[in-house]
Amino acid sequence: MSENSVNGLSRFAMEAAVALLTGAFGIAVAYGSIEADAGWTDMGPGAGYFPFYIGLLITFGSAANLVYAFVKHRGTGEIFVDMARFKVVLGFLLPLVAFAAVSTVLGLYVGTTLYIAGTMIFQSKYKWWAGLATGIGVALFFFVIFEIGFKVPLLKGPVEAFFGIY
């Protein structure tokens, strides 16, 4: 399709995709509400009564947005994000996913250290010791603020267990 121009993702495609996505979400909500009893019970409206109509409204609004996307944005050549910028965004986003994955396994302190050190060293070309020092510094700062200051624990993993920190 000519909608996807060479230098980026078209706004129309994105508008339509989001409208379809929210529409699907609306249908899922309505369906889930029927499962949870969208009718009338002894205690008044059932658990799914209110969300059912919410789901319908989402679907209705999404349909309107889809129509609007066709009327307003098709063939305008508007760009949602061009390829060069999209790479920058991905460069920011992918480390985030890695951060979440590492933290899930190793805990947030180790995750934070590795993430900050990693982005600084590999993306921003800082010296390895500068990145590592910043990462460890931030993690230690978190520890002091959260565990000691506010007494709100963060997720810890096997590394902390190895050193006996709980």
Partner 1 sequence: MENIGLLMEGFGHILSFNHILLMMLGVTLGILVGVLPGLGAPNGVSLLLPLTFSMDPISAIILLSCMYWGALFGGSTTSILFNIPGEPSSVATTFDGYPLARKGEASRALTLAFVSAGLGALAGVVMITLLSGWVANFALRFSSPEYFAVYFLAFASFISMGAQSPFKTLVSMMVGFALASVGMDTISGNLRLTFDIPELIKGVSFLVAVMGLFGIGELLLTAEEGLRFDGIKARVRLSEIGRTLIEMPRYWFTIGRSMLIGIWMGITPAGPTAASFMSYGVARRSARDKSQFGKGDPRGIVAPETADHSAGTSALLPMLALGVPGSATAAVMMGGLMIWGLTPGPTLFTDRPDFVWGLIASMYLGNIVAVILVIATVPLYASILRIPFAIIGPVIVAVIFSGAYQVGNAVSDMWLVLVFGLLGYVFKKLDYPLAPLVLAMVLGDKAEDAFRQSMLLSNGKLSVFWSNGLVTTLMLVGLALLLSPLVFWLLGISRRRRLGVPKPPQDGTPAA
Q: Is 159 among the residues that bind partner 1 (CB under 8 A)?
A: no
CA distance readout (Å), 131 to 76, 100, 122, 124: 44, 19, 9, 9
What are residue 99's phi and psi, to 5 degrees?
A: -60, -50
| Number of residues binding to partner 1, judged by CB under 8 A | 77
Q: Is 154 among the residues that bind partner 1 (CB under 8 A)?
A: yes
Q: Is 13 among the residues that bind partner 1 (CB under 8 A)?
A: no
Q: Could you say which of 3, 8, 27, 61 contacts partner 1 (CB under 8 A)?
A: 61
C-alpha to C-alpha distance for 69 and 77, rounded to whole angstroms: 13
Beta-ladder partners of 82:
8
Q: How far is the CB of 2 from partner 1 (least distance, A)?
A: 14
Q: Could you say which of 2, 6, 148, 151 contacts partner 1 (CB under 8 A)?
A: 151
The two structure tokens encoding residue 70: 């066709």
Q: Is 20 among the residues that bind partner 1 (CB under 8 A)?
A: no
Q: Is 27 among the residues that bind partner 1 (CB under 8 A)?
A: no
What is the per-residue binding string for partner 1 in 83-122, x denoting contact by CB under 8 A?
A: --xx-xx-xxx-xxx-xx--xx---x--xx--xx--xx--
Element (H, E) at 101: helix 83-106
Q: Which amino acid type is present at position 98?
A: A
The two structure tokens encoding residue 109: 């302190």
Q: Is 78 among the residues that bind partner 1 (CB under 8 A)?
A: yes
